[in-house]
Amino acid sequence: MYDEPLAIPDSARGHYASCASCQARFTQIAGDARQVSDAMAVPAATVDAAAAYRSLKPKLQPRPRFVLRLPSFSGGFVRRGALVTGLAAVLVLGAALSPVAQTFRDIFAPTQVQTVPLSTGSFAGFPDLSHWGTVSVTQQPELKQADSASAAAATTKLPIIKPGNLPAGLPAAQYATLSTGSGSFTFSKQKADAYAASQGAKAPQLPSNLDGSRLDATIGPAEAAIYGGDLSAAAQPGSKNDTGSSDHSDLLPKLAIGISKAPHVTSTGASVKDIENAVATQPGVSPELKKAILSIGDPSHTLPIPVIEGMTVTDTTTLKDGTKATFVGDNSGTLGGVIFIRGGNVYVVAGAYTESTLVAIANTL
Amino acid sequence: MTADAAPDLPANQESGGIAPPVHKAPRDDPFEELFMNEYGRVVAAANRVLDDRGEAEDVAQEVFLDFHRRHRADARFAGAWLYRAAVHTSLNRLRSRRRREKRELTQALAERPAPLEDPAHVVEVAEDRATVRQALTRLRPKAAAVLILRYSGLSYAEVGAALQVGTGQVGTLLRRAEQALKKELELGTPV
């Protein structure tokens, strides 16, 4: 009544006029509000928005790409849906940043999650794999809606998503599946040299077994339960935006739960160390990104989650069954996600909730 | 009580509030349009916390850059996201400054507008402002945010959107936050 007087109905006004108790309460509230208003007062901040925009404009960069670009992947499924995009970014980046194995038989099989703090500049400067070799997609993953959690589980052969401790007021879940996708990357010394020359840099010395060495990566299958948002609109093939990035923030669900088979990568020759060194020493890779790549202690078994310093908060926690989980949150407190690996599958619980709420849900999966 | 008899609403130009955005003709760049529409209000929210226009503009630039990296300019939640991020970023900056009060005093003394003004009064005003800012950092984040946003001139609906609560809850939250701030200022103890 004090703060929004025009919103008060006539009946309340009539009651107020004859109620000493309400009048006393109003006086108290009005007094408090005046005191706080005085306390909160600051000199008016007159701003020149046009000048401020001119100052900001040179700093605007294309939004970061969270994947080392596998062209057909980004053109196909990465743009479809916020949750799937998030999952795909984690998985593709994990596969691309954490290669791989000593021989063809060895695999990249992550069993743990590790955050890798990077600055925004490093994200924007992520190198393009096609500079160093040939990328091809051998199996395009396909996104489909599913009728139920059990139908999604039956399609993907993954555990059924049956969460508990869900916050009140959530809309009914929509379900989606992503079929297995696979692709390969073949190193080319010739391409790497040409790219280095185009950057005005000398090509780094690469191990002899790297040239022609092939990485085969497989991701998925995956399934997701999505609460809120607009999955059908997000999944429209033409819904990509004009920047080519995978932003569907206005379609974001309140909560999304995803399970994906952990990605794996095989190599025909290059060792983990060869590949780490090759990536880290390429021109265009910042010292910070190089340090981040080399900081992954056990790249064969670690799924790296890149986070932007200063824009995110991270935390680690242990679920009831002893599984280590990583929380990554938006620094505005708007969004967060809990990520963990169990039984060869990557789990993500993400949404507009606090860490404790998301962990409570994760504990029921 | 009639509308005419109602006391002044909290936010106004004199107390540092900024009028709602003026929607001018659409620009070619949606982000520029968003910036021009919301920049003043984002600065106002940050300034309400920091009591430092220059730093508030730094925060606003940081917040807009952050938004540009993450979201489309035409996202429905753009304004709410910007206000909320401005408040959180500003409160974080304030918390990280242990010696802010001392700096404010120094600044106030250095910038006093008239030589005849009583230095003791200048010091007192600066101390009061610093005390309020410190009290804000001790409130629960949602309580601090509702005060900052409302007293920066946002409507109940805008405050609700920024804090992800129903419009009907804003009045109650605001009332509780006002009491909490008053208690902080009176007792100087954590709420």
Right CATH for B25-96 from 2.30.30.180, 1.10.1740.10, 2.60.40.10, 1.10.8.50: 1.10.1740.10
CA distance A199 to A308: 26
Hey, where are the domains in chain A? 70-362
**What pLDDT is stored for residue A361 in this prediction?**
93
**Run means of pLDDT, 10 residues per run, chain A, 365 residues:** 63 81 83 83 83 88 41 31 40 39 45 68 58 82 88 93 88 88 83 78 72 81 84 42 39 83 78 69 69 65 69 78 86 76 90 86 93
Mean pLDDT of chain B: 75
Helix (H, G, I), strand (E, B) or coil at B148: helix
**What pLDDT is stored for residue A150 in this prediction?**
93
Q: CB–CB of A5 and B31 under 8 A?
A: no
**What pLDDT is stored for residue B14 in this prediction?**
40
Q: CB–CB of A334 and B75 under 8 A?
A: no
Can you read off the two tokens belonging to residue B181? 């701030």
Task: Place B120 in a pLDDT band, splitting at 50, 70 and 90.
Answer: low
Q: Is the CB of residue A59 less than 8 Å away from at least one CB of chain B?
A: yes
Q: How far apart are the CA of B106 and the nearest CA of chain A, in angstroms?
A: 17
B61 to chain A: which residues are within 8 Å by CB?
52, 55-56, 59
Residue of B107 and B12 predicted with greater confidence:
B107
Closest CA to B80 of B30, B2, B145: B145
Q: How far apart are the CA of A206 and the nearest CA of chain B, in angstroms?
A: 34
Q: Which residues pair with A256 in a beta bridge?
A: A226, A350
Helix axes B78-95, B119-138, angle to 10 degrees: 110
- Distances, alpha carbon A333 to alpha carbons A55, A254, B84, in Å: 27, 14, 9
CATH 1.10.10 fits B139-191, yes or no: yes
| Residue in chain A nearest B21 by alpha carbon | A49
Question: Which H, E and C letters describe chain A, residue by residue?
Answer: CCCCHHHCCHHHHHHHHHCHHHHHHHHHHHHHHHHHHHHHCCCCCCCCHHHHHHHHHHHCCCCCCCCCCCHHHHHHCCCCCHHHHHHHHHHHHHHHHCCCCCCCCCCCCCCEEEEEEECHHHHHCCCCHHHCEEEEEEECCCEEEECCHHHHHHHHCCCCCCCCCCCCCCCCEEEEEECCEEEEEEECHHHHHHHHHHCCCCCCCCCCCCCCCEEEEEECCEEEEEECCCHHHHCCHHHCCCCCCCCCHHHCCCEEEEEEECCEEEECCCCHHHHHHHHHCCCCCCHHHHHHHHCCCCCCCEEEEEEECCCEEEEEEECCCCCEEEEEEECCCCCEEEEEEECCEEEEEEECCCHHHHHHHHCCC
User: pTM surpassing 0.95?
Assistant: no
Q: Which residues of A, range 92-121, sit inside 8 Å of B by Cβ? A: 120
A33 to chain B: which residues are within 8 Å by CB?
7, 10, 178
Residues of chain B with CATH 1.10.10: 139-191
**What pLDDT is stored for residue A91 in this prediction?**
40
Q: Which residues of A, range 216-275, sit inside 8 Å of B by Cβ? A: 241, 247, 249-250
**CA A285 centroid distance within chain:** 21
Q: CB–CB of A43 and B178 under 8 A?
A: no
pLDDT at residue B87 tops 70: yes
Mean pLDDT throughout B148-155? 87
Q: How many interface pairs between A and B have CB atoms less than 8 angstroms apart?
A: 151
Can you read off the two tokens belonging to residue B154? 């946002």
CA distance A252 to A330: 14
Omega before A221 cis (within 30°)? Answer: yes
**What pLDDT is stored for residue B108 in this prediction?**
63
